[in-house]
Amino acid sequence: SASLMWFRRDLRAYDNAAFSQALRQHEATHCVFVFDTNILRHLPHDDRRVAFIHAALQELDTTLREQGGGLRVLQGNPTQLIPQLAAELRCDAVYCNRDYEPYARERDAKVAALLGDQGCELRSVKDQVIFEQDEVLTKQGKPYTVFTPYIRAWRQRFTPALAQTLPTPMAGALAPPSAAQGLPSLATLGFAAASQQLLRLQTGRSGGEALLQDFAQRIRHYKAARDYPAVKGVSYLSAHLRFGTISIREAVQLAISEEGEGAESWLNELIWREFYQQLLWHFPAVVEQSFKAEYRQLVFPGQDSWFDAWCQGNTGYPIVDAAMRQLNHSGFMHNRLRMVAASFLVKDLLIDWRRGEAYFAAKLLDFDLAANNGGWQWAASTGCDAQPYFRIFNPVSQSEKFDPEGKFIRRYVPELAALDNKAIHAPWQAKSLPSDFQLGRDYPAPIVEHATQRELALTLFGKK
Ligand code: FAD
């Protein structure tokens, strides 16, 4: 019997749950990836994600070819293309790994129904998390909405066997595609080849493996180093986890193979990822609105020109500007800075968190709906288990604490490079500035005053 393996956000052959099942249960397995035009048509010409996916597909195709198969790459509407291809190849089943986003759930339900009509089955498998939405629930069978009891329950249920990687596919069971169905170039897909050069990250399965190995050497320092954006303290694996070029099991294995607070703290972050994924599944309305009902009617008074200044990294707050310029330049932003920049947009500029969320969604290479929405609602105090509204980050003290020597700021805001280690965090407060530096000419004066805006935010959120 024949099967079709439909790759989506799991772009690896190794330790891939659905792929492994397909190969075990069928004599021949065909492999396909669909560039979904429903998604692609909203993306800019130089979108880095498309380039990242493209590079990952190239490697996946090579790996599959080495085993006698290869990847069919199609472009269009998967709801039509998958049932069509399954019929053409006379497949008994289509395999895919489960995706928990609202759009994907709807798409997969349609595909399953259409396949059903033609006597074929969509078999979706758990792969991208250790525990799915219904596997870690309260005693009453409800989803957790607070992280501390969730992580406790997660850890209680966890056994190392759950992070075991799955058997590698057997050679010979893969069916090769016809030459016409290979990987189209980025240009054929309507994207700029230059977007490949914009990638500041190692790509593909090999890139993910290299980063994982590199991080294994540093994981014991993670807890101490993770909050300092100028230091190489984090794993930089988020885009690889997002597109599945490494598996969650590989990541969790690394976390549990080491003793100590570094590994422990990294595992916590991987569990945050699952917390937000199950939350999105159970409460898909968070995509549109605040998780907390009392904040749904907030009217944010911030000005559009402030939003533009924030996007461009021209707010006059050096740490915020450095963060936003890092995002615009590389598609990445350090976690500490995501919190600082998000808090600044909502609590200092008084702009609706959804506008910031959308900007991050457009720019982040690791954009993930569940994590991004969760992070924004946390920072905006509108989410479950969020930062309370009265604890407002001070962008200057955050900067002094987490970039004490201004190293990160100097990297992304070079016009401030000559300022001393004190002045660089708040040039408008500096007693002395370099003689050739003029605030307002060489770098913007702050567009708002933190102390004033803080009071306004407290009033806005407090009166709800
Ligand atoms: P590490 O510190 O090495 O963490 C390892 C992995 O754990 C990450 O790759 C990620 O998969 C997961 N993780 C870490 N922190 C979180 C978290 N708070 N929530 C969920 N998962 C987490 N992460 C995304 O993957 N995509 C996003 O779109 C995204 N948007 C965010 C928006 C805001 C406003 C905030 C505050 C956080 C956001 N995060 C997002 C979470 C976090 O900032 C990134 O996962 C992290 O910075 C990626 O770098 P890393 O891989 O080196 O992380």
In this predicted structure, what is the pLDDT of residue 182? Answer: 83
CA–CA separation, 80 and 58 (whole Å): 24
Q: ipTM, 2 decimals?
A: 0.99
CATH 1.10.579.10 spans which residues of the chain?
293-463
Minimum-distance ligand 1 atom for the alpha carbon of 376: 34
Helix (H, G, I), strand (E, B) or coil at 236: coil
Of all protein residues, the one whose alpha carbon is nearest to atom 37 of ligand 1 is 375
Ligand 1, atom 50, residue with closest C-alpha: 236
Closest C-alpha to ligand 1, atom 44 = 335
> Which segments of 222-313 does DSSP mark as H helices, in order?
222-225, 238-243, 248-257, 261-282, 304-312
List the structure tokens of 21. Answer: 């099942």
pLDDT of amino acid 163: 97
The CATH fold of domain 129-163+205-282: 1.25.40
Q: Is the entire prediction scored with pTM above 0.90? A: yes
* Pair 100, 131: CB distance under 8 Å: no
Pocket-forming residues, ligand 1, beta carbon under 6 Å: 226, 234-238, 241-242, 269-270, 272-273, 276, 335, 338-339, 342, 360, 364, 366-368, 371-372, 374-376, 379
**Dihedral in degrees, nearest 10, Cα atoms 264, 387, 384, 334:** -50
Residue 346 burial by Cβ neighbours in a 10 Å radius (0-12, 13-18, 19+): buried
Atom of ligand 1 nearest to the CA of 215: 3
Per-residue confidence (pLDDT) for residue 451, from 0 to 100: 97
Burial (CB count within 10 angstroms: exposed 0-12, middle 13-18, buried 19+), residue 106: exposed
Contact (Cβ atoms closer than 8 angstroms) between residue 118 and residue 80: no
User: Could you give phi then psi for residue 304, rounded to 5 degrees?
Assistant: -60, -35
Which atom of ligand 1 is nearest to 333's Cα? 47
CATH 3.40.50.620 in the chain is located at 2-127
Of the candidates 238, 179, 196, which has an alpha carbon nearest to the alpha carbon of residue 54?
196
Which residue puts its alpha carbon closest to atom 2 of ligand 1?
234
Q: How far apart are CA 58 and CA 217, in angstroms?
A: 28
Measure 128 CA to ligand 1 centroid, in angstroms. Answer: 15
Question: What is the whole-number distance in angstroms between the Cα of residue 277 and the centre of ligand 1?
Answer: 12
Distance (angstroms) between ligand 1 centre and the Cα of 224 equals 17
According to DSSP, the residues that pair with 75 across neighbouring strands are: 35
Specify the ligand 1 atom closest to the Cα of 236. Answer: 52
Q: Let me know: does 399 contact 425? Beta carbons within 8 Å.
A: yes
Closest C-alpha residue for ligand 1 atom 29? 372
For ligand 1, pick from 238, 330, 408 the residue to mutate: most ligand atoms within 8 Å of CB: 238
Give me ligand 1 centre to Cα 238, in Å.
Answer: 6
The 10 Å Cβ neighbour count of residue 89 is: 17
Q: CA-to-CA distance for 372 and 368, rounded, in angstroms?
A: 6
Per-position DSSP letters for 357-384, written without gaps between them: HHHHHHH-TT--HHHHHHHHHHHTT-ST
The CATH classification number of 293-463 equals 1.10.579.10
Describe the strand order of the beta sheet including 2-7 as a list of residue ranges: 71-76, 28-36, 2-7, 93-97, 121-125
Cβ atoms of 236 and 326 closer than 8 Å:
no
Map tokens 């993910």 to a residue: 208
Residue ranges, comma separated, of all CATH 1.25.40.80 domains in the chain are 129-163+205-282
| Residue of 200, 219, 221, 269 to mutate, ligand 1, most atoms within 8 A of C-beta | 269
* pLDDT tens, N- to C-terminus, the chain (464 residues): 999 999 999 999 999 999 999 999 999 999 999 999 999 999 999 999 999 999 999 999 999 999 889 999 999 999 999 999 999 999 999 999 999 999 999 999 999 999 999 999 999 999 999 999 999 999 999 999 999 999 999 999 999 999 999 987 665 689 888 776 789 999 999 998 878 778 889 999 999 999 999 999 999 999 999 999 999 999 999 999 999 999 999 999 999 999 999 999 999 999 999 999 999 999 999 999 999 999 999 999 999 999 999 999 999 999 999 999 999 999 999 999 999 999 999 999 999 999 999 999 999 999 999 999 999 999 999 999 888 999 999 999 999 999 999 999 999 999 999 999 999 999 999 999 999 999 999 999 999 999 999 999 999 999 75
Report the first-to-last Cα separation within the chain, whole angstroms.
60
190 CB contacts (<8 Å, ≥6 apart)? 40, 45
Exposed, middle or buried, 411 (CB in 10 Å: 0-12/13-18/19+)? middle
The pair of structure tokens assigned to 319 is: 């740490």
Question: Under 8 Å CB-to-CB from 250, ≥6 apart: which residues?
Answer: 15, 165, 212
Does the domain at 2-127 match CATH 3.40.50.720? Answer given as no
> DSSP letters along 53-112, please?
HHHHHHHHHHHHHHTT--EEEEEE-HHHHHHHHHHHTT-SEEEEE---SHHHHHHHHHHH
